[in-house]
Structure 1
Amino acid sequence: MHRIEQRQLPVVLVGAGLPQLRGRMGNAKSYAERLFDFPEIGALAPAAAARAIEKPLHAEGVEITPEALGQILDVTRGYAYFLQAWASHTWMAANGSPIVVQDVHRAGTTAIAAMDEGFFRVRFDRCTPKEKKYLRAMAELGEGPHRSGDIAQCMAERVSSLAPTRNTLIGKGMIWSPNHGDTAFTVPMFDQFMKRIMPADSWR
């Protein structure tokens, strides 16, 4: 099949969520990055997230299968920046219409690399060594949310000694407290990034 003709598609801006820090992809944007160019907003409702992908494709006569669409929504959790990355890289990986789930899978490596460099790394680099260790301990425990005591135990420190670090990370928008004593990452997939950037036990 011939690769989908790459013409300029209309950009669909939908939904609004909690503002997040902007990831910078550089000045030069590929066609696919311009195609799915969202402002920096948080997670979209499922219907809005689906429309953000489907509408510009349909305007150009390009279809996406329900399985492929569902895969993008699932892996990105509807988070607008991640939708942009996965949709744009899937668009580049597709050989024709309809876009299928195999295209989404092929796009995974480049989409993750783009998010690592353009979104996660920007946030990571703003943190001090101790803050990075705190985030890595959270990642070690899983996606979360996690009890403050469990994070402290993972770091072999007291909860009280880590309170200033936790408060600073909350102030930087890296983590938040969904319930008293709980701590969670503000964006999905950050735990996976922390394991990639600080692998194995190198952080301890």
Structure 2
Amino acid sequence: MNPITNPYAPGAGTPPPELAGRDELLRAVDIAAQRIRAGRPAKSVLMIGLRGVGKTVLLDRMRDAAEAAGIHTLRMEAPEGRSLPAILAPQLRQALLRLSRSEQAQALGRRALRALAGFARSLKVKYADIEVGIDFDPEPGLADNGDLEHDLQALLEAAGRAAQAGGTALLLFIDELQYVEEEQLASLITALHRCAQQQVPVMLVGAGLPQLPGQMGRAKSYAERLFDFPFIGPLDAQAAHRALEVPAAEQGVVFSDGAIAQIVDATEGYPYFLQEWGKHAWDVADASPITLADVQAASVTATAALDESFFRVRFDRLTPNEKRYLRAMAELGPGPHRSGDIAALLARKVTSLAPTRNQLIAKGMIWSPSHGDTAFTVPMFDRFMRRIMPADDWRDA
């Protein structure tokens, strides 16, 4: 079939042609945003889930809906090695400049920009990666103490007051939150808590790996009462079928009996993998309908594509010791696995492997579902590890 009209879209945060199975969550976040705007209480939302479940796509869809409703938004990603002030300041500047053009919010918008100027200048010594244009002179005593927890409260409250004056709200959309250091998470939680107490319309919609609730709880004990933590998992069978069938039908293409069931079984319903298998099944097929034989052939090419990109980029970031640890996990299966069982395979003590385990958690490769348990954050990574390290040499390395 024509590869130019192939509707499937595997990619990092690439929106799928049919966002199936997420309507309830999208509606819940929209309601929370509208409540915040109306001055009514609502919890911030932190979506958690493994890689490939579509958290980034959901963040962008939620942001689009908020912007369409006239709510001001900031969109950020928290990469490893960057500070929260550094990623927040430039985006907040843009939002405040937009707000300050509103006649109702002009005065408070400019005051918030002065708060941002004081915030950036006072914290530049501690967070050298802050780079933001300064449009106004700082207001002495406003968000300029040089203490992140105190200054971020003052800054978000000033920004929220400007949004409130403009009859809108301020929504922060932050992806990959698990990479924010816990001290900085604590400051963000405190600032959001203060805004909620003052009924200032500021809300966070974030996304991260499954370890995020634990990080938030360690940062501030009351975090679990301030946020909702919806778990984003694989699609159920009905939603997975829709994700594959609807885009094909729009191109006049159908799947034969058993073809979609085979894809759902191979991908376990994970949205990213559904897109990958759909793309390769389309490219393999000569004509509609896409058959079971087409899907079986596509499984070979889809797996190879994942090995070369989705899995490989994560594997290449690992040290030899980290690779051995993950290979031992893979030997035990998908998981979760007890730390003692992994140590036994490696003929090591659990305590001696703790630094390696901690490094893998910090890199976002594994997480701990419960005390002493370890699981992959990337679906099907156990199979990849067995493919890329197939022999038993890893045991003796």
**TM-score bucket (shorter structure):** 0.7 to 0.9
Say which of 85, 93, 96 aligns to 2:287: 96
1:200 corresponds to: 391
Displacement, 1:6?
5.0
Displacement, 1:45?
3.4
Change in CA separation of 1:107 and 1:172 when aligned onto 2, cut-off 3 Å: same
> Which structure 1 residue ranges, 5 or more long, are not aligned?
22-40
Say which of 79, 82, 94 aligns to 2:270: 79
Matched, 1:135 2:326: yes
Alpha-carbon distance in structure 2 between the residues aligned to 1:14 and 1:171 = 31
Greater CA deviation, 115-124 or 138-147? 138-147
Alpha-carbon distance in structure 1 between the residues aligned to 2:233 and 2:308 = 19
More strand by share: 2
Letter in 2 for 1:53: L
1:54 corresponds to: 245
Displacement, 1:7?
2.7
Alpha-carbon distance in structure 1 between the residues aligned to 2:256 and 2:370 = 38
Change in CA separation of 1:174 and 1:42 when aligned onto 2, cut-off 3 Å: farther
2:379 corresponds to: 188
CA RMSD, aligned part only? 2.3
Matched, 1:161 2:352: yes
Letter in 2 for 1:167: N
1:118 corresponds to: 309
Say which of 14, 20, 23 aligns to 2:51: 20
Instruction: Please state whether the residue corresponding to 1:203 is helix, strand or coil.
Output: helix
2:297 corresponds to: 106
Alpha-carbon distance in structure 2 between the residues aligned to 1:5 and 1:85 = 14
Say which of 151, 166, 189 aligns to 2:342: 151
Letter in 2 for 1:163: A
Alpha-carbon distance in structure 2 between the residues aligned to 1:46 and 1:176 = 26
* Number of equivalenced pairs: 184
Letter in 1 for 2:239: A
Alpha-carbon distance in structure 1 between the residues aligned to 2:233 and 2:355 = 26
Displacement, 1:101?
1.2
Displacement, 1:14?
3.7
> Which structure 2 residue ranges, 5 or more long, are not aligned?
9-16, 23-47, 53-231
Letter in 2 for 1:196: R
State whether residues 64 and 99 of structure 1, in contact with CA within 8 Å, keep that contact through their aligned partners in structure 2.
yes
Alpha-carbon distance in structure 2 between the residues aligned to 1:66 and 1:4 = 22
